[in-house]
Structure 1
Amino acid sequence: MKALTIRQPWASAIAHGTKRTENRSWPVPAKHLGTRILIHAAAAEDRTPRLSSDVPVELTKGIGVWPDTRSAILGVATLASCHFDEGCCTPWGMDGYFHWELADVAVLPEPVTAKGSLGFWTPTADALNAVTAQQTGVAW
């Protein structure tokens, strides 16, 4: 299973909130579409988090309340589809980026510490075992 590192607060917005669109400058490689991936929170935060003016306050109230876990796997999701911005995917889609649509998101009961990487990466056997051990109650 591959993992994708996402900076905070966006990793938590996916795992604990309602964010189901990840914005990237590159499209999802075809081999990853439709697969389950691990959502990993980066060590660093997004120093310039931008929210579209379309994002309703009720969707963002979790920012600052969601756990600010870093360098850990927070959950799992399905990479359902990918397309270039067409003024769509409100409220989370950003103009001029590829929108990676996530589905079937499930938060892990306990974050799994792991060092991330750019792009898709494969977690260590220990990290995967720790994630797998939490399968009860998590949609895989």
Structure 2
Amino acid sequence: MRALTIRQPWAGAIVHQQKRVENRTWKLPAKHVGARILIHAGAQLDMNAKIYGPNFGDYGAMIGVATITGYHWSTDGQCCAPWGFENAYHWTLDNVTALPQPVPAKGALGFWTPTPDVMNAVTAQQTGVTW
């Protein structure tokens, strides 16, 4: 399973609120459409973020799983309001499930493969998590 690092508060909004779009400047590679991914909360806060709710405190950890269902380009962001950015690719997400316990991990740019230790800690939490 691949992981995607997302800065806070956005990772927390995906896992704990109803944010079902990830804004990116780059087009989603076709091979990831339909893929189940791990949501990794980056180690840094997005200082430009508008806070739509609580600032979730998990940083540098796997916090959930999601399915990427597709993507589209948006010039105005209104299609995915209030979460969509303008002039960005909107990666659409579904079947989002929070992990019962965050799993510390170092992130990376783009899609990346977690270490075996991280994957073992994540899969040990299978109860209640839709894989």
**TM-score, length-scaled by structure 1:** 0.88
Structure with bigger strand share is 2
* Structure 2 residue 92 is matched with structure 1 residue 97: no
Given the alignment, which residue of 65, 69, 73 partners 2:58? 69
Return structure 1 stretches of 4+ with deviation > 2 angstroms.
none
State the match for 2:67 in structure 1: 78
**Which segments of 5 or more consecutive residues in structure 1 lack a partner in the other structure?**
52-59
The superposition leaves residues 18-73 of structure 1 with CA deviations (integer Å, 9 ceiling, x where unpaired) of 1111000001111111010000000111011147xxxxxxxx3x323xx3111000
Q: Give distance in 2, aligned partners of 1:15 and 1:102.
A: 10
**Which segments of 5 or more consecutive residues in structure 2 lack a partner in the other structure?**
none
Deviates more, 1:103-112 or 1:85-94: 85-94
The AA in structure 1 aligned to 2:109 is: L
Q: Give distance in 2, aligned partners of 1:34 and 1:42.
A: 23
Q: Give distance in 2, aligned partners of 1:10 and 1:81.
A: 18
- Kindly report the root-mean-square deviation, in angstroms, between the aligned alpha carbons of the 2 structures: 1.1
Given the alignment, which residue of 108, 117, 121 partners 1:126? 117
* Structure 2 residue 10 is matched with structure 1 residue 10: yes
Q: Give distance in 2, aligned partners of 1:100 and 1:116.
A: 19
Equivalent position SS for 2:31 = helix
Q: Give distance in 2, aligned partners of 1:42 and 1:90.
A: 23
Q: Give distance in 2, aligned partners of 1:22 and 1:90.
A: 12
Q: Give distance in 2, aligned partners of 1:3 and 1:113.
A: 13
* Structure 2 residue 41 is matched with structure 1 residue 41: yes
* Structure 2 residue 102 is matched with structure 1 residue 111: yes
The AA in structure 1 aligned to 2:24 is: R
The AA in structure 1 aligned to 2:120 is: N
Q: Give distance in 2, aligned partners of 1:19 and 1:63.
A: 13
Q: Give distance in 2, aligned partners of 1:89 and 1:111.
A: 27
State the match for 1:20 in structure 2: 20
Q: Give distance in 1, aligned partners of 2:50 and 2:90.
A: 15
